[in-house]
A and B are shown apart, each in its own frame.
Chain A
């Protein structure tokens, strides 16, 4: 594997933005958290875990980014984003629960761009 396939980070950006859009719509329509939103968050989590696996494989192959500590920090933080947002948002029984999920979707998309800046072999 010479580089991390660009399809996955791009998929994560699209999925994150779509999730954020749906969640913000729910906030605007005064809807509470539902199973659908949590399921979508679960899909995002799986996509992020696969990406982390691919990046770890790239590191195992001997590739190194300019700042290894930064990348390792990202690899630890990335899978935690949907997890913590899901727990924190599910505790809320108002329209602001979906708003927390929207933040997670936006953050996932932004993290893909940052990953590319940290290590350009991770294509977007």
Chain B
């Protein structure tokens, strides 16, 4: 298969561009978390669900979010990136909310989830990963806005800002 270079002025479609450069690293890390969260939740629910049902269901929810983010980041189409923005946002809210909950009410989390303690069991990667995901998605969006500008010229600063504003 032919991959375009990571140069920002590539003329290839947006989908492969989402899989190159920093996107390649992001997808690798997301795939890692999708796999580990899914495996962990699967084993927990299958073998000792009654031990900590809330924690294990949240593990499963986190796993679904990671799978969704991995697939949509790797797909890279316009629709997929919109879903990726949503899943990265849910992920960030999830890490902060579950992290706070697990600190305030440790009894509900006798066993760790990916997101308890703000992802401390995973080197706080779960906390920073959605931030980098959203930054990367914003950069892809801006790059595409630049390329789709009329007459192939760079949009004015005002144009770029309004394009971004519509997206948010």
- Which residue from B3, B21, B28 sits with its C-beta under 8 Å from A85? B28
Q: How many residues of B contact A (CB 8 A)?
A: 20
How many residues on the A side are at the interface (Cβ–Cβ under 8 A)? 19
Q: Which residues of B contact A67 (CB under 8 A)?
A: 43, 47
Does B3 lie within 8 Å of A96, measured CB to CB? no
Q: Which residues of A contact B (CB under 8 A)?
A: 67, 69-70, 73, 77, 85, 88-89, 91-94, 96-97, 99-100, 103, 107, 110
Name B13-44 residues within 8 Å CB distance of A.
Answer: 20-25, 27-29, 32, 35, 39, 43
Contact between chains at A77 and B25 (CB < 8 Å): no
Q: Is there an interface contact between B6 and A88, defined as CB atoms closer than 8 Å?
A: no
Query: Which residues on the A side are within 8 Å of B35 (C-beta)?
Result: 77
Least CB separation from B39: chain A residue: A73
Closest to A102 in B: B25
In the complex formed, the residue of A with least CB distance to B40 is A70
* A69, A92, A100, A107: most-surrounded residue (chain B CB, <10 A): A92
Chain B residue nearest to A80 (CB atoms) is B35
Whether B43 lies near A96 (C-beta < 8 A) is no
Q: Which listed residue, A70, A93, A100, A110, touches B6 by the CB 8 Å rule?
A: A93
Given A67-B43, A92-B24, A99-B25: A107 and B5 interface contact (C-beta under 8 Å): no
CA distance A69 to B6 in the complex (A): 41
State whether B5 touches A88 (Cβ < 8 A): no
Whether the Cβ atoms of A100 and B43 lie closer than 8 Å is no
B125 to chain A, nearest CB (A): 10
Contact status B28-A88, CB under 8 Å: yes
Cross-chain pairs A/B with CB under 8 angstroms, 13 sampled? A67-B47, A73-B43, A88-B24, A89-B28, A91-B3, A92-B21, A93-B6, A93-B20, A94-B5, A100-B24, A100-B25, A107-B32, A110-B123
Query: Is B12 among interface residues, defined by CB-CB distance under 8 A?
Result: no
Chain B residue numbers with a CB within 8 Å of A99 are: 24-25
CB-based contact A93/B5 at 8 Å? yes
Q: 5 closest pairs, A vs B, by CB?
A: A94-B6, A99-B25, A92-B24, A100-B28, A96-B24
User: A97 to B46, Cβ gap below 8 A?
Assistant: no
How far does the Cβ of A101 sit from chain B's closest Cβ, in whole Å? 10
Residues B47 and A69 in contact, CB atoms below 8 Å apart: yes
Q: Which residues of A contact B6 (CB under 8 A)?
A: 92-94, 96
A87 to B20 Cα, complex, angstroms: 14
Q: Cα distance A59–B114 when bound, in Å?
A: 28
